[in-house]
Chain A
Amino acid sequence: MLSEQVELNRGLAQMLKGGVIMDVTTPEQARIAEAAGACAVMALERIPADIRAAGGVSRMSDPKMIKGIQDAVSIPVMAKCRIGHIAEAQVLEAIEIDYIDESEVLSPADDVYHINKRDFKVPFVCGARDLGEALRRINEGAAMIRTKGEPGTGDIVQAVRHMRKMNSEIARISSMREDELFEAAKELQVPYELVQYVHENNRLPVVNFAAGGVATPADAALMMLLGAEGVFVGSGIFKSGNPEKRAASIVQAVTNYKDAKLIAKLSEDLGEAMVGINENEIQLIMEERGR
């Protein structure tokens, strides 16, 4: 049996499904995101594209700035801490954040250990590139998973790669004989019980969103078609020409991801998309942080 808190924390992620979580840096942006239909906002000082541009060490945001955003909206507010930074996570819990993203977008504080998320009452979401990473984070206490993608690039290719890899590994585990699961658990470096769950349910034990590189309504629809249960949009909205319109269009595209006619309409006149950076042009690979 799962503890009550784990169920409530996984439950909040279930309530976010089919929705779009948007990165915001000010109360004003948070209000725009809420009005556009965001199901939650991620409060951070700099969006990933700007973190990339600025370079240097990037850390948890100023709690005062996060509180300003909490006061501005009625939807859940998430915030990021550095991988392995127990104290930053405790600070975010102390200001009653709704979800902590232990995120590769910030500079890792620990290059070996992730936070023991079971020690916290507040829920965590973590990035993953494949099933092994996802189950290791869940074993540490993550209540929600997202693909890592490659944040701040506006390039969807890595998120697609991570979602496809996760799906094919889940399919592989599902089709195994039961006596093969022990070896699979060893390969994935995760407890047998988690592998058994995937085998029996043909899915992760927690909600799985897409993140990293989503810039257009069609990008969001693509991730939903590949099995994402919702979408994070980071730099894609407030780095674009018309944030309100783009945000609202992405929200509708996630709900009706199978309706190509509607997505065609939603893609009209959105103004300039964020400037993308191709995979082979980036110097800092965030997805390799924290395995």
Chain B
Amino acid sequence: MRIGILALQGAFAEHKKMLENLGAECVELRQANDVIDLDGIVLPGGESTVQGKLLRELNMFDKIQKLIEQGLPTLATCAGLVLLADEIVNDDNVYFKTLPVSIKRNAYGRQLGSFDTVSDFKGIGEFDMKFIRAPYIVDAHGAEVLAEVDGHIVAVKYNNQLALSFHPELGEDNRIHKGFLQMVQKYSCQ
């Protein structure tokens, strides 16, 4: 299994470490040429404005968008969710638009609004969730809701896309990454 980790900016190294510990082969995606022979892709946390800009400047945008549309298993956290969303209620910039949800950027305010909580994640159970200047999902439309915190949707799945507001890559708990690798396994066996 060869997982591409978008490594333009942000916390990509943390995802890489977690997936490598689970036995996956990971490759950092920094240029268009890196996007080749992938069984899955991770869109990490960071600043979506920076990642979105670099995706276009480095000619990676169309290539990755097409792969996601064609069914490549995708794990997106925080800024990654922003990149996937079809609509951002407080920002006119949208990116891949492959995930039919409406989100709010920096929905909990500035860093002083960042928080950590334990909540239920569908199919996994209680999970320690770290929200850092995080977005949340205002309307999940057709996507399956996997987790909610204080009445706001913070995790969804839509076909091949698993998108989270919070950061499972920052803790020790790798169950979500394991679940993602199962999605990848199923996909590559098809």
Contact = CB atoms under 8 A, between A and B. Distances in A.
Interface of A: 4, 7-9, 11-12, 14-19, 34-35, 37-40, 70, 74-77, 93, 96-99, 121-123, 248, 251-252, 254-256, 259, 262
Interface residues of B, number: 36
B130 interface: yes
A18 B133 CA distance: 18
A159 to B, nearest CB: 20
Given A7-B130, A11-B130, A122 B112 contact: yes
Contacts of B115: 4, 8
A86 to B, nearest CB: 18
The 3 closest A-B pairs by CB, nearest first: A98-B111, A18-B9, A39-B47
Interface of B: 7-14, 30-31, 45-47, 49-50, 53-54, 57-58, 78-79, 91, 105-106, 109-112, 114-116, 130, 132-133, 167, 170
Contacts of B8: 18, 255
A15 to B, nearest CB: 5
Contacts of B57: 248, 252
Contacts of A12: 111, 114, 132-133
A106 B91 CA distance: 35
Given A11-B167, A14-B11, A96 B109 contact: yes
A18 B47 CA distance: 10
Which of B14, B46, B132 has the largest count of A CB atoms less than 10 A from its CB? B132
Nearest to B52: A37
Contact of A14 (B14, B50, B79, B111): B14
